[in-house]
Amino acid sequence: MRDALPAAERLLTSVIRNPAFILVLVTAPIVLVLIFGFIFGGAIALPGESSGGQTYREFLLPGLLVMTASNIVPSMVSAAKENHSGLTDRFRSLPISRAAVPAGSALATLVYGVISFSIMMICGLVVGWRIRGSLADTLLAMLILLLFQFSASWIGMYLGYLFDDEETAGQAAILAIPPGMVSNVFVPTESMPAWLGTIAAWNPLSSVAAALRELFGNPSAPTGGAWPLENPVTASLIWTLGLLAVFVPLCTLRYARAGR
């Protein structure tokens, strides 16, 4: 694990040397909050509310945080790109653990995550989102969010190493959209057809979004009796740890065998 730190430092240093990336990192959360908050917010009313707007924005923000955390595209594209250049060969010929480089990338992603979540939350506070939970609950919510992002970046890297080519990874990015839509991130699941609602309820994004809403004390969507939505905090932890348990070994194996 100690070897992961230089690998993370490499990515962070390259970010510091790339002002355009920093600009995107800072503006993307702001743009997301404004677009979704005011475009969807005007049109969508939560069940039991007469109109959207303010309440919807409070419902939406945890969803946007989860949406951002679940964005596997950057990890996927950069893993595919690095696999294609000789850089991965160089790292794999070094006397370091073969999990070190993927772990370093996941740690670096976590740093970007902290930055974009903070900006998004500040922006949310400006447009009416509030934290009504206790400090402990808020910290737990942050922990779940970061853990979820950490596991998502392992999935992204695994797919990136699998595609082994930047173009394919770029094309595959479109597939990262549906998981966010088939969930309670933007809308409550109860308006969906029953079968779709069940999928959405068992979508890890839904659990994490519901957990954040519960812990922040934001309005939540009806659960429809689905277990992961009834017990979102437990479900989120199970989901994230489960994803890590599957994708950390898969990704490490894939990386260790890259180019074979």
Partner 1 sequence: MIEAEGLGRGYGEVQALESLDLSVPEGTVCALLGPNGAGKTTAIRILATLLAPDTGTARICGYDVATQGAQVRRRIGLAGQHAAVDEALTGRDNLFILGLMHHLGRRAARARAAELLQRFDLEAAADRPVKGWSGGMRRRLDLIASLIAEPPVLFLDEPTTGLDPHSRDEIHSAVAELTRSGTTVLLTTQYLEEADRLADNLMVIDSGREIAQGTPEELKDLIGARVEVVLPSDEQISQAEQALTALGGDDVAVQEHRVSATVKAGSLTLPELVRHLDELGITLQDTGIRRPTLDEVFLNLTRSTR
Q: Where do contacts with partner 1 occur on this chain (CB under 8 A)?
A: 3, 5-7, 9-10, 13-14, 17-18, 85-87, 89-96, 100, 259-260
**Alpha-carbon distance 191 to 88, whole Å?**
46
Q: How far is the CB of 92 from partner 1 (least distance, A)?
A: 6
If phi > 0 it is left, if psi is from -120 to 50 it is alpha, else beta; for residue 6 that is alpha
The smaller minimum CB distance to partner 1, of residues 26 and 94, is found at 94
The smaller minimum CB distance to partner 1, of residues 5 and 43, is found at 5
**Alpha-carbon distance 102 to 161, whole Å?**
10
The one-letter code for the residue type at 71 is N
Q: How far is the CB of 8 from partner 1 (least distance, A)?
A: 10
**Alpha-carbon distance 53 to 199, whole Å?**
27
The smaller minimum CB distance to partner 1, of residues 17 and 195, is found at 17
The smaller minimum CB distance to partner 1, of residues 12 and 244, is found at 12
Q: How far is the CB of 166 from partner 1 (least distance, A)?
A: 13
What's the token pair of residue 161? 């190493």
The one-letter code for the residue type at 3 is D
**Alpha-carbon distance 228 to 203, whole Å?**
9
Q: How far is the CB of 21 from partner 1 (least distance, A)?
A: 9
